[in-house]
Copies of this chain bind each other. A is one copy, B any other.
Amino acid sequence: MIDAYRGSAAPTSGGSGAPDALPDSLPAAPLPTVRPSVALLTDRYELTMLQAALADGTAHRHCVFEVFTRRLPAGRRYGVLAGTGRVLEALPHFRFRDAELDYLERTGVVDDRTLDFLRGYRFTGTILGYAEGEIFFPGSPVLQVEGTFAEAVLLETLVLSILNYDSAVASAASRMTSAAVDRPCLEMGSRRAHEQAAVAAARAAVVGGFAGSSNLEAGLRYGIDTIGTAAHAFTLLHDDEPSAFASQVASLGPGTTLLVDTYDVRRGVEHAVAAAGTGLGAVRLDSGDLGGLAVEVRRQLDDLGATGTKIVVTSDLDEHAIAGLAAMPVDVYGVGTSLVTGSGAPTCGMVYKLVARADSSGVLQPVAKASANKHSHGGRKAAARRYDADGRAVEEVVVGGPDDRVVAWAPGQAVDEAAGDGVPADPDGERGDLRPLLVPLVVDGAVDSRWVGAYGVQNAARHHLQARAELPRGARRLSVGDPAIPTVDLTLG
């Protein structure tokens, strides 16, 4: 025993921080970690606005809200929209049931009339948006939510939470997969993100081109391929490295990936090939100078006859580190922290703005905060990407203004019926071909199931690769720059 630890005179009034005994008034059992309703994943002011609007009658005014971002993270060339499928999956769970209503009543958040409205709430409006996986730029109207003020305003917080996080991750992922060229990138960042955000991050990584994830829940929910074999703890658990490797190969087969840097990499590689033979699937390097080590390990593997054994690197990679390893004999990149935190831009800055609402006569009028910048013109927007003769994107075209003059874009309507009159025409076609960007996601409250689940993720990943391939070549540079194409706002004054 040491006197130093007796510490009877510990000076803090808080001591160890241990709380007093649990008051009898509190339940002893912990709360569930998740609850089926997502309706309270919401800022309080959405509900207090609803209360006041129900009282004065404006709650039932027809409204259009749009989601967009005013700028990309500093120096980024493009953003990648992700999370749309998750918004649609959440929508049917946005319900106020007894647990939510009891809480709101008990704490006096809203009045009885509002509680009655919430009890019957379901979203019956229409949502258009960019396809998940689509590239976006400043001012791109990536989501349009149309319905009564009451129905549409309640979704603000949840929609933004999902799109801001998922798009931040997908945008980082796309830079990484772009830097990796043809080498697969694997998502391994679950431990560096909130435990549910980690699932969304795995999904968004795949939208951005990743080949798989370590996250099992993402595998279950979205059909994402999961990967991973062993950590340093597994080697340390055993009496020595050869016995750890022998155990892993016996259980997982010689095609497994052995982590060779617990003690000494050179001896680790020796032990690995000794345990698995020359058919060893891969070795993983998780520390040190990855490029230099990869060269040495590749030579050693080849000398040992393990010419087909791959090299996986996984230590604090980001898009710049990946690009820096392009000339090195690396086969697979595992990315964690920088991916799930958006590689320096952990949220997208998307906003959910009221852009049009019915006046007292029921006519939809453009509205906007007076101080908003040029991307916040009022009015519902149409959006399209313009291409040159070679099929390269040249500009993002956004058109807004009074609703009856600009756009009458009905869900499912054909492209050539989608634009209203009044927009500056292009009679000579000299501005190039346009690809319209807004597609129907929810029509009169009905979610289009093609966008959700595993199928939605596959489609989003495929669409992202196509849309990215159409960008100007400079778009894929990692250096600081301007958006890859300008956003041209043709909004009527």
Contact = CB atoms under 8 A, between A and B. Distances in A.
B450 A19 contact: yes
Interface stretch (A297-305, A321-329, A366-374, A473-481): A366-374
A121 interface: no
Interface in A425-461: 425-427, 429, 431, 433-439, 447, 449-456, 459-460
A419 B7 CA distance: 11
A55 to B, nearest CB: 5
A42 B226 CA distance: 11
Contacts of A228: 43-45, 48
A194 B196 contact: yes
B8 A415 contact: yes
A52 B12 contact: no
Interface in A225-241: 226-234, 236-239
A43 B216 contact: yes
Contacts of A346: 341-342, 346
A190 interface: yes
A30 B452 contact: yes
A36 to B, nearest CB: 6
Contacts of A76: none
Which 10 residue pairs of A and B lie closest in terms of their CB atoms, listed nearest first? A17-B131, A45-B228, A5-B419, A14-B466, A194-B197, A160-B191, A52-B251, A34-B34, A4-B426, A196-B196
A421 interface: yes
A52 B134 contact: no
Given A32-B36, A226-B107, A133 B17 contact: yes
A5 B415 contact: yes
A301 to B, nearest CB: 20
A153 interface: yes
Q: Chain A contact residues (Cβ within 8 angstroms of B): what range?
A: 35 or more
10 contacts: A3-B427, A11-B433, A14-B466, A19-B451, A32-B36, A34-B34, A45-B229, A55-B250, A103-B220, A233-B354
A216 to B, nearest CB: 4
Contacts of A35: 34, 217
Given A55-B250, A220-B99, A229-B48, A161 B214 contact: no
Interface in A348-387: 349, 352-354, 357, 359-360, 367-371, 382, 384, 387
B199 A41 contact: yes
B449 A369 contact: no
A493 interface: no
A472 to B, nearest CB: 14
B231 A49 contact: yes
